[in-house]
Structure 1
Amino acid sequence: MKKLLLLIPLFMISCQKEKNVITQHANQDSTGNQNKPQKESVAIKVIENKPVTNKDEIIRTVDASQIPFILNENFTKDEQVLSLKITNYTKPSIKVNLINKNHLNLRFTGIKLPDGSEDGPLPDEISYKIKGKGEVWLFFSRNTMAEGASKGNFSVKVE
């Protein structure tokens, strides 16, 4: 029993020893400086093609080869609608962001897919799976369920 009492403190001391381990993370070089992963820089084009207007509808056509892009638009009437037609779309998904810095009464009212199906209304920022290949239509207009100014500048970013 006396031997056991002597062995317990010895056992506790031996269990508390820390091992000196040198680890080097994969994102550090030998001097300890971190190698930051570089982000790919993608140039985003600003589309400035002339729209086709039909009463209160503004129709813009953009080829999918120009993605990613930003489209700047200006509504001058309360009941205007922006219809953005993207031709030759072949990717499995699309990202769309309605940039509304002036807090206009606008909403992303819908999307029409190449297979003819439609969905909407949608939030200001979406990532949407695309069924089929062909034309994708994006629609933006005044939110009839809310109040506020619907005239002014806004942008649509498509990736």
Structure 2
Amino acid sequence: MRRPSARRGFSLAELLCAALALCVLAGAAALSFRDTGERRIVLEEAEELRAWLSSRMAQAAREGAEFKLIIDADKTTQELGFTIEWYGGPRDLETETYEPGRAAIERDSLANEHTFDGEWFTLTPAASFIIRSRRERDIAALVTVSGVGYVDVKETLKEQ
């Protein structure tokens, strides 16, 4: 006959220690994987700017037109907006603007004007813009427009 062991389970202290360890790990995981609202706002603004620029470039290519992208800087905050002046095509000499929504747009280059040629699908000079949270300055994304008209968004959480 087998003799029953004196120890049949875990003590209350052992169970409480295990529960505490699980709670600490769950809390750490929740903090590391949380998606802050500011990060989402910055990425949405970056995506809106990317889509706006891409659609204007595609339109210029379809119409064989060109446009000048003019950077408008707010004198007090240095936040950017954009004006497009169309040349050629059905929108010749028309203008349109882009104003940032809930995130700030900052300059990443020195040029104030960029010219897009719809026939060659090129932007001269290439451009980069930093989309930054107005509340948490270290949350940012980078919108780049290559010289060959490719627009991309890269998320970055480092201080620029």
Query: Is the TM value for this pair above 0.5?
Result: no
Higher strand proportion: 1
Q: Determine which structure has more spread, i.e. the larger CA radius of gyration.
A: 1
TM-score under structure 2 length normalisation = 0.24
TM-score under structure 1 length normalisation = 0.24
